[in-house]
Amino acid sequence: MQTQEVEIVNPTGLHTRPGNMFVKKAKEYTSAVTLVKGDKRVNAKSLLTLMKAGISLGDKVIIEAEGPDEIEAVQGLSSLIASLTE
């Protein structure tokens, strides 16, 4: 399992459009991808569960991936979060 903590820099957090972009990217990987915010663990490949986590600007989340492309998944999703500025 690969993990990485990242800080949300997007002013709207991971809601609606940026959340959808994140989920779409997560679905590109075969590994299971989970996003952890505090005591909440959500499936990063589901927009509905991602929205329920309420991830906002300044929140620190952990991206976890487990599977054959886990390293690429964590790196790719971390880069995406850093680039979201909408």
Q: Which residues belong to the active site?
A: 15
Q: At what angle do helices 16-26 and 70-83 cross, to 10 degrees?
A: 160
Non-local (6+) Cβ contacts of 23 within 8 A are 44, 45, 46, 47, 50
